[in-house]
C-alpha cells in the first residue's frame, strides 16, 4: 500500500510541475489552459511576494471551505523555486486540503511524499497523526495503526521544548489506536486498548469516554458478562456523563442476553423513571435512549410470553410523552398485553381510548400517519366483540353441568399425613 501510494505521489506531483510554464500575467503558473489564481502586482513586486501571497491565498481559501480554488493555488505553487521550508508548508497544506475535500488517496500520497523527502522536526508527530486518520478513513486500518505508533515513537525522540504538547499527542495516538481497532470490528482488542487508556493521566471526561467505549466494545463482541461488569462500573463512577442513558440501554440488553430478565426489567425501568431534573441537561438524548430501551425490552418480553413485565414497561413508556404520535401506539401495545392476559374490559377501554382521541382530532394533518393504528384498534375491538358473542352463543347451546362440591379435607394427624384418603367426587 505504501509503495504504490508513494509512486502515485511522485508521478502526480512531477506531472504537475512538468506541465507548468510561466504565465504571461502577474504570476508564474500553468499555461495549458487550466485555471490559475492571479494575484495583483505592484511596483517592486518580486517572486518572493508572489509565493507568499499565493500561499496565503491557498491557506485562507482552504480554511473557508473553497477547496477547489485552494488546490489550484497549491498546484501553481509547485512550479515555483521554493525554499525547503516553503516546500514543506505547501505540501502539508496541499495534503490537508485534499483530505478535507475527501480526496483521500491523493492526500495520503502527498503526506507520504512529505514524510519521505524532507527532514521533519517538531511537527512530525502531528503529520503522522493526520496521515493515520486519513488511512483509517480509507479503511487501511493496519497502516493507520502503524502511523499512530509512529506518533508515539517520534514524541520520544523530540526535545523537551513543547513536552506538554507531545505528551498530549502520544495520548491522542493511543486513543486513535483503540478507536481504529473499534472501527475495524476488532472489539476485544479495542476494549483492551480503551482499558489501558484509563490508566493514563487523562481529563475526567476523556477517562469516562474510554471507560464507556471499553464496555461498548465488549458488548459488540458479545462478551455480555464482561460488558455488564464494565457498564456497572461506568455508571457508578460517572453518574452525570452524557453516555449514561446509552449505558443503561446496553446494560438492559446485556441482562436479556444473559437470560436475567428481572435485572433487565429493573434496568429498563430505572432508565424510564429517571427524574426530569437529570434528563433536562440533554432531553433529546435521554428521550431517544428511553424510548429505544423501553420498546426493545418490552417487545422482547412480549414475544417471549412474559406479558406482565411487558405491560409494566409499556405503561411506563406511555408516561414519557403526551404526544399522540408516541402515546397512542404505546396504548395499542398496552391493549394487546391486556387482551393476552384476559383483561378484556381493560383492553376494550384501551382500544376505545385510541379511537376516541383519533375521532376528536379528525381533520388534523398531524394524525394522518396514525390512520393504520385506527384501523388496527377498530379491528381488535371487533375481534373481541365477536369472541364474546360467540362464547355467549356456545354457552347457551351447551347444557349446564351441575356444580359438584367436595367435602372439606379430613384433619391431618401429628405427622402431617391425612388420617383418611380424600373423598373423590365423581
Q: How does pLDDT run across 106-148, given as a tens digit for each residue?
A: 999 999 999 998 877 778 899 999 999 999 999 999 999 999 9
Q: What gap in Å lies between CA 161 and CA 66, rounded to an integer?
A: 35
Distance CA 46, CA 55 (A): 14
Q: Kindly report each contact of residues 336-344 with a partner whose C-beta sits within 8 Å and lies 24 or more positions away, as own/partner.
A: 336/302, 336/380, 337/302, 337/307, 337/308, 337/310, 337/311, 338/311, 339/380, 339/384, 340/307, 341/307, 341/308, 341/311, 344/384, 344/388
C-alpha cell at 397: 347451546
Name the residue with higher pLDDT: 377 or 160.
377
What is the C-alpha to C-alpha distance for residues 25 and 87, in angstroms, rounded to an integer?
23
Residues with Cβ within 8 Å of 22's Cβ and at least 6 positions away in sequence, in order, are 28, 29, 31
The pLDDT assigned to 364 comes to 62
In 238-280, which ranges are continuous DSSP H helix? 244-257, 261-272, 276-279
Q: Which helix (H) or strand (E) holds 85?
A: helix 84-101
Looking at residues 287-295, what average pLDDT do you find?
Answer: 95
Res 9 pLDDT > 50? no
Site of grid cell 503526506: 111
Q: Which residues pair with 418 in a beta bridge?
A: 412
* Confidence at 422, pLDDT banded by 50, 70, 90: very low
Confidence label for 39 from pLDDT (cuts 50, 70 and 90):
low
* Per-residue model confidence as pLDDT tens digits over 328-359: 999 999 999 999 999 999 999 999 999 998 88
Average pLDDT over residues 305-313: 95
> pLDDT, tens digit, for every residue of 80-94?
999 999 999 999 999
DSSP state letter for 223: -
Statement: residue 405 has pLDDT above 60: no
Closest C-alpha among 250, 259, 249 to residue 304:
259
- Out of 22-31, 149-158, 290-299, pick the least confident: 22-31
Confidence class for position 277, pLDDT limits 50, 70, 90: confident
Residue 202's contacts (CB-CB under 8 Å, 6 or more residues apart) are 171, 210
pLDDT exceeds 60 at position 294? yes
Q: What are phi and psi of 66, to 5 degrees?
A: -95, 70
Arithmetic mean of pLDDT, 41-55: 79
Query: How far apart are the C-alpha atoms of 256 and 193, rounded to whole Å?
Result: 27
Q: How confident is the model at residue 361 (pLDDT cuts 50, 70, 90)?
A: confident
Residues of the chain by 3-state class (helix, strand, coil), percent to 5: 70, 0, 30
pLDDT band at 281 (very low <50, low <70, confident <90, very high): confident
Q: DSSP string spanning 350-389?
A: HHHHHHHHHHHTTT-GGGGGGHHHHHHHHHHHHHHHHHHH
State how far the Cα of 161 lies from the Cα of 400, in Å rounded to an integer: 99
Query: Which residue reads 430478565 in cell numbers?
Result: 261
Of the two residues 366 and 327, the one the predictor is more confident about is 327
- Under the banding of pLDDT at 50, 70 and 90, the label for residue 363 is low
Give the mean model confidence (pLDDT) for residues 184-212.
Answer: 94
- Contact between residue 127 and residue 120 where contact means Cβ atoms under 8 Å apart: yes
List, for residues 144-169, the tens digit of each pLDDT value.
999 999 999 988 876 666 788 888 89
DSSP string, 100-124: HHT-HHHHHHHHHHHHHHS---TTH
Quick check: 4 pLDDT over 50? Answer: no
* DSSP run (H or E) holding 30: strand 29-30
Q: Which residue has the cell 464496555?
A: 215
CA 111-113-114 angle, to 5 degrees, is 65
Domain ranges of the chain: 1-100, 321-392
Query: If pLDDT is split at 50, 70 and 90, which confidence band does 31 have?
Result: very low
Return the pLDDT at 3: 41
Which pLDDT band holds residue 30 (cuts at 50, 70, 90)?
very low
Question: How much is the average pLDDT of 408-417?
Answer: 47
Most confidently predicted of 151-155, 195-199, 249-253, 357-361: 249-253
Amino acid at each position: 500500500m505504501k509503495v504504490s501510494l508513494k509512486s502515485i505521489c511522485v508521478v502526480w506531483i512531477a506531472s504537475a510541475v512538468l506541465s507548468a510554464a510561466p504565465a504571461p500575467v502577474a504570476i508564474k503558473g500553468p499555461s495549458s489552459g487550466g485555471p490559475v489564481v492571479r494575484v495583483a502586482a505592484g511596483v517592486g513586486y518580486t517572486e518572493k511576494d508572489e509565493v507568499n501571497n499565493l500561499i496565503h491565498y491557498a491557506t485562507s481559501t482552504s480554511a473557508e471551505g473553497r477547496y477547489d480554488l485552494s488546490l489550484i493555488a497549491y498546484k501553481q505553487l509547485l512550479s515555483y523555486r521554493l525554499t525547503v521550508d516553503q516546500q514543506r508548508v505547501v505540501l502539508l497544506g496541499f495534503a490537508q486540503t485534499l483530505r478535507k475535500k475527501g480526496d483521500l488517496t491523493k492526500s495520503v500520497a502527498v503526506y507520504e511524499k512529505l514524510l519521505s523527502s524532507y527532514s521533519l522536526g517538531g511537527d512530525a508527530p502531528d503529520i503522522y497523526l493526520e496521515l493515520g486518520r486519513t488511512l483509517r478513513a480509507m479503511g487501511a486500518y493496519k497502516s493507520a495503526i502503524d502511523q499512530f505508533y509512529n506518533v508515539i515513537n517520534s514524541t520520544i525522540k523530540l526535545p523537551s521544548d513543547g513536552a506538554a504538547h507531545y505528551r498530549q499527542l502520544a495520548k491522542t495516538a493511543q486513543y486513535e489506536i483503540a478507536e481504529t481497532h473499534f472501527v475495524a470490528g476488532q472489539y476485544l482488542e479495542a476494549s483492551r486498548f480503551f482499558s489501558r487508556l484509563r490508566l493514563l493521566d487523562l481529563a475526567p471526561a476523556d477517562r469516562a469516554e474510554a471507560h464507556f467505549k471499553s464496555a461498548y466494545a465488549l458488548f459488540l463482541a458479545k462478551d455480555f458478562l464482561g460488558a455488564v461488569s464494565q457498564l456497572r462500573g461506568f455508571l457508578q463512577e460517572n453518574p452525570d456523563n452524557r453516555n449514561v442513558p446509552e449505558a443503561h440501554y446496553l446494560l438492559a440488553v446485556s441482562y436479556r442476553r444473559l437470560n436475567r430478565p428481572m435485572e433487565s426489567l429493573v434496568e429498563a425501568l430505572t432508565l424510564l423513571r429517571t427524574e426530569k431534573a437529570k434528563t433536562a441537561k440533554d432531553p433529546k438524548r435521554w428521550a431517544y435512549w428511553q424510548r429505544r430501551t423501553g420498546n426493545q425490552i418490552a417487545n422482547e418480553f412480549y414475544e417471549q410470553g412474559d406479558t406482565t413485565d411487558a405491560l409494566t414497561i409499556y405503561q411506563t413508556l406511555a408516561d414519557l410523552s403526551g404526544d399522540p404520535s408516541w402515546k397512542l401506539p404505546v396504548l395499542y401495545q398496552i391493549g394487546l398485553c391486556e387482551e393476552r392476559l384476559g383483561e378484556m374490559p381493560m383492553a376494550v377501554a384501551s382500544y376505545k381510548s385510541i379511537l376516541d382521541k383519533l375521532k376528536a382530532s379528525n381533520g388534523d394533518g398531524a394524525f394522518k400517519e396514525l390512520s393504520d393504528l385506527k384501523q388496527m384498534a377498530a379491528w381488535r375491538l371487533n375481534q373481541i366483540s365477536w369472541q364474546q358473542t360467540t362464547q355467549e352463543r356456545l354457552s347457551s347451546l351447551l347444557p349446564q353441568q351441575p356444580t359438584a362440591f367436595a367435602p372439606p379435607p379430613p384433619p391431618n394427624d401429628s405427622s402431617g399425613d391425612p388420617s383418611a384418603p380424600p373423598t373423590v367426587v365423581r
